[in-house]
Chains A and B, each alone.
Chain A
Amino acid sequence: MKKLLALILALVMALAMTACGGNAGDTENTGDDEKAPAIKVGLLLEGSLGDESINDQAYEGLLKVAEDFGVETKYVECDDTSKYIDYLEGLVSAGFNVICCDSFNQEEALREFAPQHPDVHFMILDTEVSDIDNVASFTYATHECSYLAGIAAAMKSESNVIGFIGGMQIPTIEKFQVGFEEGVHSVKPDATVIVKYIGNDNSAWNDPATAKTLTMDCISNGADVCYHAAGASGMGMIEACVEKGIWAIGVNIDQTHLAPENMLTSALTKGDRAVYLFTESCVNGTPLSGMTVLNCANEGVGVVESEFMTEDIMAAVNDAVAKIVNGELTVTNVMSY
């Protein structure tokens, strides 16, 4: 047995030696020199379609792109982080020259891959990449859609008490909170917004039980509309709202299907719009690069016009959108300094 162990040890050492030569990696340039004539749009998904979240949303954008610009499109589903680059390479070698990445988890791969293919245009959602010429990144003006949600909440509320459930108290979420509060107070200056945060660590994003307790607390204090920015924990808030029969406001995507009877609206961050805007810029020959904020002005954020959004609410929302767009109204962005 000792012999065997010794053998293995010796082997490891020997192999480590082979592992220790100079790294003479010649970087091979796979970029094509010829100009690709037509625009072909590829979409790299994180995971699969049918997630009723970012993937489906981005795919919607891709469908719209194919319809409006008549370009060839293709989506690939990748659930293996080590293969993002392989998929990107596959798309590029298949002639796709506009490539959309729908998740911030793909940033690492994109940062490595994009500089090697200067003639291909890339975009990535929900993260900030500003230092690569052929990469555009999109972030969301979440304070603006939260403001719109706040208007809807205030107009629908009868008790003038409104709940906000946040995941972790970090600037990203405070941006939702402050925008929402401003929206509420723009309609009813003396309305109360009860603000509750779930926790101080990453578990806060996946803790529906605590979210539910906190929501119940808001409701017992009179809240009759609740809004959340708490990831998967938001399910708990929606559950509480359904149980107590009050209004819920969803976030990021249209969450109506989670509570068809109680979902007043959802504050949307439209990834599909990013795919559309980016492709449009490439079709026009002026590809976006650097950071772009998706906001009211470029219709990158908004609220769902559900059956519960009465005419006067929609009028107020549209009015606010118009004012934000023409600069009459500025919603406080806690992260803009």
Chain B
Amino acid sequence: MNLVHQLINRKSSNALTQVLIFLVSFLLALVVGGILLALQGHKDILSVYYYLLIQPLTTGNGIAKVLVQTTPLIFSGLAVAIAFKCDVFNIGVEGQLYAGALAAAYLGYALQGLPRLVHVSICILGAIVVGGLLALLAGWLKVRFGVHEVISTIMMNHMISNIVTLLVVDYFRNDGPTARTPTVQDSARMLSLSGSSQLNSGLIIAVLLCVVLYIVFEKTPFGWQLNAAGKNLRATTYCGVDAKRLILIAMLISGALAGLLGAERVLGGFGYMQVNFSPGYGYDGITIAVIAGNNPFGCLLMSLLMGLLCTGGTQLNVMTDIPSEWVDMLSAFIFVFVVAANAVMLKLPELKEKRLSRERRLAK
């Protein structure tokens, strides 16, 4: 197995090591980011980090904003993680979430007079089904024709987001300057958790899903199969597990989570679907899942951090002259350091083995 596969399915049993690696990487990223700012002539680095990491958490409104940003990232992180678990790359979350969002928005405004429970359920189900089926298509292409899912899902991202844009602009468009669907019925709105922000019950769904997926991964035969398949797909097949079925199911769930992300944004966040609303949730999910080592709770924590960086980045942009791209760079540093540290950890035994054998040879 090559290094990439080992990296995305590294043994998560040693959680403490992973947490340590993360913390060191995080601090290192802050230091490097600080040095870069200092080189650009910024003097007050500490206040930069205050605005980025502390200030958003000092007000209730700020915390709500962080959680708003966190919610979709949790879904996206989990969606990528479950595919990674069984060694499949779902790069297509970005497209699947648009399809799910459009489904939720359409069902949300076209259906009328339903009780809230039924209406929200139908919208969420619609989004899950659409997202899931699209991911399943990529999975099917893989198991049936051997089309690599990275290729097919990236291609499908472009296709789906353009088709969705076309549908919104030409068929489901609301009158007005913005290219978006009409607002969904009140009966299709998720429960708002804070009056002034987009925070909604989607967050509760996301956190519950973390718990559920943790239980599925750790305590069920299916989770065991996924784990085994992630470690070595071929060996798992020889153990009598239907790997193709496993891949299809993992993709289906992954796509369903992406659809759920879209539904949360539409039913809980905006109340409508606007074209190109995603700032790249699907790709952030990959970062999150890799750093979290596919651990659902790791995804949750990582999403919280990314949500904080996102909110703090806005604050930083307003309070100082530092562009929000600097914040993107910071999270990229964290990613690179975590991956590098893990790569070294993975290679270490191998290198040690090589040195030992060389020494043995020399000794002879």
Contact = CB atoms under 8 A, between A and B. Distances in A.
- Physical interaction between A and B: yes
Interface of A: 1, 4, 7-8, 11-13, 15-21, 23, 25-28, 30, 48, 74, 76-83, 86-87, 90-91, 94, 104-105, 107-108, 127, 202
A57 B359 CA distance: 69
Interface in B200-243: 200-202, 204-205, 208-209, 212, 216, 220, 222
A74 B209 contact: no
B192 interface: yes
Contact of B192 (A1, A25, A82): A25
Contacts of A4: 216, 220, 222, 249
Contacts of B169: 202
A23 B317 contact: no
A18 B279 contact: no
Given A1-B249, A19-B116, 11 more contacts: A13-B121, A18-B204, A19-B190, A19-B200, A20-B117, A25-B192, A74-B318, A81-B276, A82-B270, A87-B317, A90-B319
Contacts of B189: 23
A79 B220 CA distance: 42
A199 to B, nearest CB: 14
B314 interface: yes
A76 B318 contact: yes
B180 to A, nearest CB: 8
Interface string B154-166: 0000000000000
Contact of A25 (B194, B208, B315, B319): B194
Contacts of A74: 318
A30 B317 contact: no
B277 interface: yes
Nearest to B196: A28
Contacts of A18: 191, 201, 204-205
A47 to B, nearest CB: 12
B319 A23 contact: no
A90 B318 contact: yes
A7 B213 CA distance: 11
Interface string B172-211: 0000111010000000011110111010111011001100
Nearest to B60: A28
Given A77-B317, A86-B311, A107 B222 contact: no
Contacts of A202: 169
Contacts of A8: 253, 256
B17 interface: no
Given A20-B191, A107-B178, A90 B125 contact: no
Contacts of B268: 19
A1 B318 CA distance: 50
Contact of B222 (A1, A25, A27, A104): A1
Closest 9 A/B residue pairs (Cβ): A25-B195, A90-B318, A19-B190, A16-B121, A80-B279, A19-B201, A20-B116, A15-B205, A16-B120
B208 A11 contact: yes
Contacts of A1: 222, 249
A26 B195 contact: yes
Contact of A19 (B65, B191, B270, B276): B191
Interface of B: 61, 65, 116-117, 120-121, 124-125, 128, 169, 176-178, 180, 189-192, 194-196, 198, 200-202, 204-205, 208-209, 212, 216, 220, 222, 249, 253, 256, 265, 267-270, 274, 276-277, 279, 311, 314-315, 317-319, 323-324
Contact of B212 (A11, A13, A20, A104): A11
Most buried by A among B61, B116, B180: B116
B166 to A, nearest CB: 9
Nearest to B178: A108
A16 B124 contact: yes
A91 B318 CA distance: 6
A8 B128 CA distance: 11
Given A20-B191, A90-B317, A105 B177 contact: yes
Contacts of B317: 76-77, 87, 90
B172 to A, nearest CB: 15
A214 to B, nearest CB: 24
Contact of A12 (B128, B216, B270, B324): B128
9 contacts: A8-B253, A11-B209, A18-B201, A25-B192, A48-B323, A82-B198, A90-B319, A94-B318, A107-B177
Nearest to A79: B279
Given A7-B212, A77-B317, A12 B121 contact: yes
A81 B120 contact: no
A8 B253 CA distance: 9
Nearest to A126: B177
A77 B323 contact: yes
A108 B198 CA distance: 15
A127 B177 CA distance: 8
Given A4-B216, A127-B177, A87 B209 contact: no
A124 B323 CA distance: 23
B276 A15 contact: no
Contacts of A23: 189, 191-192
A79 B277 CA distance: 10
A105 B178 contact: yes
Contacts of A94: 318-319
B246 to A, nearest CB: 10
A78 B310 CA distance: 12
Contact of B195 (A27, A90, A91): A27
Nearest to B272: A108
A324 B253 CA distance: 65
A287 to B, nearest CB: 22
A7 B196 CA distance: 33
B195 A28 contact: yes
Nearest to B195: A25
Contacts of B270: 82
Contacts of A77: 317, 323-324
